[in-house]
Structure formats: C-alpha cells, structure tokens
A = this chain, B = another copy of it.
Amino acid sequence: MSGGATQLLRGLARDRSGRRRARSGRPLFSGALVLVVLSGSVAARSDEDAPIRSPPQNPIPALAAPTAPGRTGPRIMSRTAFDAGDLAWVTFAAIGASLMIPGWVLFYRARMGRPDLSRVAGQVFLLTCLVSLCWAFVTYSLAFGVNWGGESAPEADLVGPDGQFTGLPVIGGAGNLALRGLEPSAAADDREYPLRRRRDAVPHMLFMGFQMFVAMMGPVPLVVVLSDRVKTAPLIAAALGWSIVVYAPLAHWIWGFGWLRQLGAQDFAGGAVLQMAAGFSALTLLALLPRRASVWAEETSACSGMACLGGTLLWAGALFLSGGSALSAGPSAVAAVLCTHLAVCAGALAWAGAGWLRDGRATFGDLAAGAASGSAAIASCSGLVALQSALVIGLVSGIVCRAACTALATGRERGLMTVFAIQGAGGCLGLVLTGVFASSNFAGADHSGRPIEGLLSGNPAQLRLQALAALSAAALAAAGSALVFGTVRVLARGNWLTAEIQESASDSASA
C-alpha cells in the first residue's frame, strides 16, 4: 500500500506547489485533505506488522489477559463471534440516523424562509465527506480512545482499582489514530475482531462506524444556518474544526472515558453532544458574526410543506439514532425508539397546541418545529425513562422551545436563534429532565454498576450531575466555537463573509 500512497502523495504535493496561485480559502481545504491522506500513510508505515502486509501472522496484540499487569501496548479485547441481530441493528441504525442531515437542512431552511437548497446541499455533502474521513483517521481517537496518558495502564477494562478511568479524563489519546486497533486479525482458524470494551455486543470497528455517522451530523445545523453568510471554504473548514475542538472533547467527556461519565452523567443519544453543542455554538456565533443587514423573507406556504418534510426526516432519523445508541438490539433499544416516537408526537402537538390556545392559530410549520424540539429533548433520555415520562418530556419541550423561539427567533438573526431555541434549549431541557425521570427499570446500571435513577426515583444527585453536564457542555460549546471561528477569521484575513446577494446564484465550492 505504501507505494501507491506515496505516489499519490507526491502527485498531490506537486499539485500543491502549483496551488499557491489559488485563492485564499483553498489551502484550508486541501490542507485538510492532505492531512487525512498523510495520517493514513503515516499510520500504515508506523504500524510495522499491519494486517494488510502479513495477514497470516497475528498483527494485533491478542486479547489482553486481565491478570497480566505491566503491559505497555494498547489493550485490545477481541471476540470471534457476534450476534447477527446486534450487528444488523447498529449498522442500519447508523445509516438511518443520517436522515437527520436532510431533516435539519430542510427544516432550518424552511424556518428561514429560504427554499433554495442547491448551495447548502453541496456544502453539507462536502462537510460529511470531510468529517467522515477526519473522524475515522484522527478525531475518533481523540473522542473515544483511551484517556490521554492512560494507554499503558494494566487493567483490561480501563477502570483503575479506585473505580477511576486511567489517564487524563479530558481527551482521548493517540491509540486509535488511523484506525489502529480496530481491524480484525486472523487467529488460528477464525478472524478475531477487537472490542472497544469487554462485554460489548459489536466489534470496535462498528462502534467507530456508528459514531462516525453520528459525528457527521454534528456541525450540520451550523452550516445550514450560516450557508449564505460565510464563504464555502472557511465555513467548511470551521465546521470541520468545530467537530475536532467542540464535538470530540464533549463526546469524550460524556460518552468516552471522560470526567462526566466518570461522575455518572447520562446522555443517551446526544442531547448534550449533538443538540446542546450545536445550539450553544449558534448562540456564541451570534455575538461573533457581524449583524445581518437585511431582514429575512417571510415564511411562505412552500416553506410550510418543506418544514413538514424536514420534520418528518428528523423524526425518522431520531428514531434510528435513539435505537442505535443502545449499541445492541435489546428491548431497551426498542424502548428508546418508542420513547423517541412518543416524545416527538407530544412535542409537535404541544408546540402547535400552545400556539392555538394562545394565539388562536397554528401553522403546519409549528408541528415540524415541535417535532424537532421533542426530538432534541428526548435525545438525552430516550433509553433511560419510561414511555409515560417520554410523553411528559415531549409536551414540556414543545412548550418551552416554543416560548424560546417566540421570544428570540423573530428578527434578523432568525437562523442562528432557531438553532439555539430548539437544539440548545431543547437539548438542555432534556439533559436536565433525565435527572428527574431516569428509571433503572429502563436505564439499568452505569459503567460502575450503580443503577441509574433520577429525582422521582429518589436520587436527587443525578439531577445535580445532569445540571453540571449541561453547564459544561454549554461552556465548552461557547469557548470552542469562539476559538474555531476566530481562528478561521484570522486565517482568512477577514475575507470570509459572502456578499449576501450572490447566494442564490452561486454554485461553486470556490466561492
């Protein structure tokens, strides 16, 4: 492989020297591309006994015996046979969850009164490709790798004798860069597949793949609402940076081996990592970006149908995302799907019903907005609460997010404010309500064996934890997005905003 890769890199390098003539935004893009190729090639070279060259030997350190202290390589547990149903569930859920991407595109563009989609569709397409490759080769290791500095600890399950994760619980180490430690090795007769953790139902590779599909969605809402304000190259570069600087650490804190998971904070399907991160980043950008000059167009009838379609896709995507987040096909995964369905329905009815009871009218676009807020709120709790609680969470989220949207998302900044009012407020609400409604009948126990219970089950500590998680997520999103967009502004030497009039005509990624 190294021959082909080297040749390819040389060709790219030659082209790169010629690209100095190019416009200012381009280096960011091609730099990212080259980074991905390089990382793959470096990893392949550094991994001397990579499976691709000498398959009959066992290229990956075998199943670490839990009693073998003092090993220094990354610990890899592996298994030969998996349940076909678990693999089918998680794989299809990953693919299905990406329905949320067109869902957000259609829904937010409809709310903004901009039904032209060519430009934003292309930008999102570009973004998902970049984030996917960057995730597989770089970001995954930061988000879900063993803690920085903890790769050489002896315990196979990554939990120290004091019940703490080993290493610095803030960011993942370099142990899984370039897909290291994820690929099968040929044992005596069968291939063995490494697991991420003991007792996992799916191979490490599929865990990475599922998280890749989730991570792909993370920056989409920001791209959708900024699509016609920021030029394509700086926008996509910033979104990619956001997925490294905001998404990856937050995922590590709550889903990986980080400090919030260590404490016991719960986020089942991305209420903090997906929804709040995007929502609070949108709030931050509002302060950073220059004001819009013009007022948005009014929502039209065509936009109402588009919002309904977007809301439907969000709905379907949220069902898959919740189910897949269980990471195996047990009944609790099914409960997560049903909770999400009920919460989305309740959110839609609550938003539209509140508008009807209060103002005497409700548009169909309100139903879609309510569905979006229900899906944002239930994300944190879908697999952790009873179905009846999901109904209540959905109703509350529809009313709260409608209030936020009515108060904030009316003027010139309707795009960013809608993201905050729905994903930020809804995600935050759901994260906190998890601490109220979580029931160990559905949620089971956390990594340390402690049953997950909320305030109504007599455990107020969980509510405090969830509030801490919400605060941390909001702070990280605000700081990280300010850092990323500030850096892009500096690198682009100020030349990063579009002349808004060009937006509908422009079709080229070089804009």
A interface secondary structure, majority: helix
* Nearest CB on B from A429, distance (A): 12
Please, what's the 1-or-0 string for A376-409, where 1 marks a CB less than 8 Å from any CB in chain B? 0000000001111101100110000000000000
A229 close to chain B: CB less than 8 A:
no
B440 touches A118 (CB 8 A): no
A18 to B368, CA, bound (A): 25
* Nearest CB on B from A312, distance (A): 7
A50 to B186, CA, bound (A): 46
A23 close to chain B: CB less than 8 A:
yes
A364 close to chain B: CB less than 8 A:
yes
Stretch at the interface among A262-270, A334-342, A490-498: A334-342
Work out how many copies of this chain go into the complex: 3
Instruction: List the B side residues contacting A260 at CB < 8 Å.
Output: none
Instruction: List the B side residues contacting A52 at CB < 8 Å.
Output: 385-386, 388-389, 437, 439, 441, 456-457
Interface residues in A123-147 by Cβ distance below 8 A to B read 123, 125-126, 128-130, 132-133, 136-137
Residues of A in contact with B, size category: 35 or more
Stretch at the interface among A80-88, A250-258, A419-427: A80-88
Known: A4-B396, A122-B365, A129-B346. 4 other contacts (CB 8 A): A29-B356, A95-B316, A121-B364, A184-B331
A508 close to chain B: CB less than 8 A:
yes
A51 close to chain B: CB less than 8 A:
yes
Instruction: List the B side residues contacting A362 at CB < 8 Å.
Output: 508-510
Instruction: List the B side residues contacting A55 at CB < 8 Å.
Output: 439-441, 451, 453, 457
A392 to B36, CA, bound (A): 11
A67 to B19, CA, bound (A): 69
